[in-house]
Amino acid sequence: PFLDRWPYGPVALVTPFNFPLEIPVLQLMGALYMGNKPVIKPSEPTSLVMEQFIRLLIDCGMDPVDVDFLNCRGPVAQELIVQTPVRLTQFTGSSRVGELLCEATRGKVKVEDAGFDWKVLGPDVADIDYVAWQCDQDAYALSGQKCSAQSIMFVHENYEKAGLLEKIKENASKRNLADLSVGPVLTHTTKGFLEHTNKLASIPGAKVLFGGKELENHNIPERYGAVEPTAVYVPLEEMVKEEYFEDCVSELFAPFQVVTTYNDDTLDTVLFALEGMSHHLTAAVVSNDVNFQTKVLANTVNGTTYAGRRARTTGAPQNHWFGPAGDPRGAGIGTPEAIQMVWSCHREIIHDSIVPEGWTQPKAT
């Protein structure tokens, strides 16, 4: 047989605001590499970035007809996708919009949607300054506006006793507008952020570990968020209760994380919570204990899980698959496998040409 990958032809890309060059470029070039004709609809607030990139491609020799650029709001883009022969749409953005687009296209969507990304710190405490720094980076770099940002952290009591939470608090307190280590939150207002923070802090036994306040001396417009890096502690036994769980694992695309603690006896409760979450994009198991790693990895599934003392939810120094697991619509970026899987279909040609000499018709079956 002759096996190959075959392009879909007309395809669409709906891309996010938070990485206005990297994510759209990875997706666009993958679509082109596989022989498709893409139309790209970037996020409206940052669409100028991709417009300029496409102009750069044309200046470098790309035929202008190879890519169509659509600068519009979501409903207009959906109408184009539904009413034209677009065969596949890759969508990166909120789960709510992804589900609407999936319904409108009758499932012809690959999603690289929101992530509520977890980190579990194991019992083997070491390199605590490094671990604290990485936790701060994962949760609060880029003001938490990354789909791979650390959204919830399960801290073994050994790390808590070693003072990890105080170190994370100290690192977070150094973030400020002057050096842009904090900045505006584009998808939540300050009011909405604080309402969510206070709602979680009202759970029995919960408390704000740090943050939970509006930034001081800022001129960020009210339509955006201006908030300090925030962590809310919620007791594990309360978090897993039905009346609180969904609030605790709802993504806030902002410098915010939920923190809880556990011990050896409650690890199974942690695993129950991890698999109860609806999105499985990235995760981290911070431990060099092979037995601990094995138990967590064997009972959880994510698109990318980092394991080891240096484990993080985001920003690994090597290229790797980046996309969700557990959803048949899941898309990926970052690897040749991701490009082929998203932007082409399997095609197989079976050659069967020669009728044997002296053939006679067999009995019907």
- Which residues are marked as active site? 112, 147
**96 class by beta-carbon count within 10 Å (0-12 exposed, 13-18 middle, 19+ buried):** exposed
Rounded CA-CA distance 290/23 in Å is 34
Amino acid at 255: P
Of 126, 136, 144, 124, the closest CA to residue 167 belongs to: 136
State which amino acid sits at residue 220: I
Question: Which among 333, 315, 316 has a CA at the least distance from the CA of 324?
Answer: 333
- Which phi and psi (to 5°) does residue 89 adopt? -125, 130
What are residue 208's DSSP bridge partners? Answer: 232
Report yes or no: 13 and 110 within 8 Å, Cβ to Cβ.
Answer: no
* 3-class DSSP state of 222: coil
Residue 135 and residue 296: Cα distance in Å, rounded?
19
Alpha helices in 141-257 (DSSP H): 157-161, 164-173, 190-201, 236-239, 242-248
Give the other-Cβ count within 10 Å of 193's Cβ.
Answer: 24
**Euclidean distance between CA atoms 40 and 32, whole angstroms:** 12
CB 344 within 8 A of CB 34: yes
Q: Dig out the tokens for 183 from the structure.
A: 């900045």
Tokens, residue 226:
């201006």
- Reported as half-sphere exposure (CB side, CA atoms, 13 A), residue 228 has a value of 20
